[in-house]
Chains A and B, each alone.
Chain A
Amino acid sequence: MTKNIGQQGWEGLFASPTLARLLARFLTHPDTAFYQRELLGAARAHLYTVQQALRRLERTGIVTKRPGGNRVYYQANRAHPAFEDLRRVVLKTVGLGDALRSALAPVADRIRVAAIYGSLAWGKDTPKSDIDLLLIGSLSLRETAALLGPVGRRVGREFNVTAYPPEEFRQKARSKHHFVSELLVSEKIFLMGSADVLTELVG
């Protein structure tokens, strides 16, 4: 089993890459209403293709449409039953996960677990929230800062990294260290490794 996503990534799941890109844009900016022309850049497609994809998204109910002035606005629908799950998929892949995974690629062989926790993982983040990232492996904060700095600047968010060598994490988990205990039970979005790897690590 690989801990990375296949070559085609998220877009490969969809019949149309435009649809995938639009969905990713809506779900990573759930509180923003977009008008058609604004979405052309994100979709990297012609207007007609974008209109088709928007109709499809609107019919599923994951995106809602409303008029405003002389424009029509489209926005993610937080009330949709699949909203949170789809958003997690997006964050794990195109939204952030792909960017993080490729940034960490040079040190991937030294990472056992990389997971987002905190407000982003619970779905309670705001556009200004830090991205809380747990890293377990043999790597220093200085290394990760150099690798993640450019991603943070690109997404306009700050990373709050907590890096543990596997032994320190295990020892803190066993001694019921409050932060580590809380990490173990809290919501996480795994980017590398998995809940099983974490359980195995704690032993």
Chain B
Amino acid sequence: MSLQSLLADGRIRPHRSSVREVADLLRVVERDLADASVTQLSTDRRFATAYNAALLLATIALHASGFRTASTGHHWATFHVLPEILGPDAQARVDYLDGCRAKRNVSDYDRAGAISEQELVELTDEVRGFQRDTLEWLRTHHPALLP
């Protein structure tokens, strides 16, 4: 679904972001990435925390582009509009993060221990890359939103 059709469906709304908002979200991403590396926590919890960082990076892209999600299913929508915002190269990242969303749902609500260590390392690496790419994208497209 495109930004326009999500907007027409009321699933996203216009939004004006700010330097403060972007800075706050970036700090939460930092915090989550740091927490996801705490080895005393379960692999499941660390995975969910790294996933949250990915969701917030996608949220930054959405907010900076002038939209925010309005209702349920917002994780799905936040990821699915990324290729339209960041370019078609983001599709592979979206497919992957969407798979992580399904895993994290199962792990948070249904079943413990279903996340392998390899999967955690992979997600953490992906989120670090996503963080770098998001900062780069902000510098190029929305420099006014950077502190």
B113's partner among A165, A168, A169, A177 (CB-CB below 8 A) is A177
Query: Quick one: which of B99, B111, B113 contacts A159, CB cutoff 8 A?
Result: B99
The stretch among A36-44, A72-80, A106-114, A136-144 that forms the contact with chain B is: A136-144
B118 touching A165, Cβ below 8 Å = yes
- A160 on interface, CB distance cutoff 8 Å: yes
* 30 A–B contacts from the bound complex (CB under 8 Å): A130-B106, A132-B106, A140-B122, A141-B96, A141-B99, A141-B119, A142-B92, A142-B96, A145-B92, A145-B95, A145-B98, A148-B99, A149-B98, A149-B99, A160-B103, A160-B114, A162-B103, A162-B114, A162-B119, A163-B118, A164-B118, A165-B116, A168-B116, A168-B117, A177-B113, A178-B113, A179-B111, A179-B112, A179-B114, A180-B113
- Is residue A202 within 8 Å, beta carbon to beta carbon, of the partner chain? no
- Check if A158 is an interface residue, CB within 8 A of chain B: yes
Main secondary structure of the interface of B (DSSP, over half): helix
Beyond known contacts A162-B115, A164-B116: 15 more, CB 8 A cutoff: A130-B106, A132-B106, A141-B96, A141-B119, A141-B123, A145-B96, A145-B98, A149-B95, A160-B102, A160-B103, A160-B106, A161-B103, A165-B116, A178-B112, A180-B113
Q: B-side interface residues toward A, CB under 8 Å?
A: 92, 95-96, 98-100, 102-103, 106, 111-119, 122-123, 126
Query: Is B111 touching A141 in the complex (CB atoms < 8 A)?
Result: no
Considering only CB atoms, which chain B residue lies closest to A140 in the complex?
Answer: B122
B2 to chain A, nearest CB (A): 16
Residue of A nearest to B106 (CB): A160
| Chain A interfacial positions (CB closer than 8 Å to B) | 130, 132, 140-142, 144-146, 148-149, 158-165, 168-169, 177-180
Measured in the bound complex, the distance between the Cα atoms of B117 and A169 in whole Å is 10
A93 to B16, CA, bound (A): 51
Give the chain A neighbours of B117 by CB distance below 8 A.
168
